[in-house]
Amino acid sequence: MTYGTIYAIVAIGFNIIYNATGIINFAQGEFVMLGGMTAVTLHQFLPLPLAILLAVVITMIVGAVIEIVFIRWLHKPSVLRMVIITIGISILIREISLHIWGEGVKALPYFTGSSVSSINMGGVYISWQVLWVVGIGALAVAGLTAFFNLTMLGRQMRACAANRDAARLCGIDAGNMVTLSFVLSAAIGAIGGCVVCPITYVQYDSGTPLAIKGFTVAILGGLGNSTAAVGAGMILGILESFSIWVLPTAYKEAISIAILLGILFVKPSGIFGSAEAARLKEF
């Protein structure tokens, strides 16, 4: 469940940018890592809630800077170019983090209770932090849905995603919307990074595997569909935990990628996606 939620959060980050720009941001996992890392560092001299808040803000700024520096001025770049650029960005962030934080594994303390305390829910013992992860994950999805459907800004973003030229005619600044989508997905990633950090720990290179699993989940749920991503995240999380019973733990990551490949081969529109919507996309 915990892992499923974090995969879903990464997948939602993918979806936000994909919906606004049609780009898959391969550096999405790095946002999660950055969020966790910054929070750990800030927690050394700030109280936990403040440290997390500041970490999210910093990651948002990083997201905005990335968009402004690398993406904004490219006009109609080819997909291959964007893929390679975002992979390059993810490598840069990872290497910079390595030089800032070193190779060590870091963690935040549990938000409430400790790693051994747990609560009894219908006979199953669940750690407090798991509840935090699931709760905040749910809150993030609900918040995003509300943002996209209820606020003016959210609606403008959706308009840009649907038809950028038409949106521009209506007086919406499409460029800023793309920046905003990077900021939003950076924020979602950073929040996710902070809440799972006490359980999964964080390391300079923990971004890439997360990005791959997030992508798997995004594909599994149908690219662009955030609600489906949550369901798909749970499915992948559960499948992964079961795979440990059958195969050595070392192969855990290979499982999710095998699932990704399987889905890509059989039904690239995702299990929850409609074939009709898929026809409009480029595979």
Partner 1 sequence: MVRRYFPVAGFAGLVVAIQLATHFTGNSYHLTQLTMTAYYSLVIVGLCMLIGYAGQISLGHAGFFAIGGYVSAFLTTCDLKPYDGPFLSLLEKSGAVVSRQDFYGGSLLTVHPWLACAAAILLTVAVAYLVGGPVLKLKGHYLAMATLGIGIIVYRIVLGTDFLGAADGISEVPGFPLPAGLVITGDSALRVSNYYLAWGLVILGMILLLNLIHSRVGRALAAVHGAEDAAGAMGIPTARYKLHMFVLSAVFASLAGVLLTHYNGGIGPSEAGVMKSVRYVAIVAIGGMANLWGALTMSLVLNYLSLRGYFGTYDDTVFGAILILIMLFAPDGLLRRHLLSDLKRLVSRRDPEEEAP
Which residues make up the interface to partner 1 (CB under 8 A)?
24, 70, 74, 77-81, 83-85, 87-92, 94-96, 99, 208, 212, 215, 219, 248-251, 253-254, 257-258, 260-261, 264-265, 268, 282-283
Residue 188 in tokens? 């979602």
In terms of CB distance, is 42 or 211 closer to partner 1? 211
Neighbours of 235 (CB within 10 A): 18
In terms of CB distance, is 13 or 137 closer to partner 1? 13
In terms of CB distance, is 14 or 132 closer to partner 1? 14
Residue 115 in tokens? 């790693």
In terms of CB distance, is 57 or 257 closer to partner 1? 257
In terms of CB distance, is 191 or 223 closer to partner 1? 223
Element (H, E) at 34: helix 28-43
How is the chain split among helix, strand and coil, in percent rounded to 5? Answer: 75, 5, 25
Ramachandran bin of 118, using left for φ above 0, alpha for ψ from -120 to 50, beta for the remaining angles: beta
Q: What is the dihedral of CA 94, 58, 38, 231, to 10 degrees?
A: -80
Q: Which string of DSSP letters, residue by residue, matches 106-149?
A: B-PPPSSS-SS-EEEETTEEEEHHHHHHHHHHHHHHHHHHHHHH
In terms of CB distance, is 143 or 262 closer to partner 1? 262
Closest separation in Å from C-beta 208 to partner 1: 7
Closest separation in Å from C-beta 197 to partner 1: 23
- In one-letter notation, the amino acid at residue 158 is R
Closest separation in Å from C-beta 224 to partner 1: 12
Residue 209 in tokens? 């595997």
Closest separation in Å from C-beta 222 to partner 1: 13
Closest separation in Å from C-beta 240 to partner 1: 13
In terms of CB distance, is 108 or 218 closer to partner 1? 218
Closest separation in Å from C-beta 209 to partner 1: 8
Buried b (16+ CB within 10 A) or exposed e, 22-58: ebbbbbbbbbbbbbbbbbbbbbeeeeeeebbbbbbeb
Closest separation in Å from C-beta 183 to partner 1: 20
Residue 236 in tokens? 């992948």
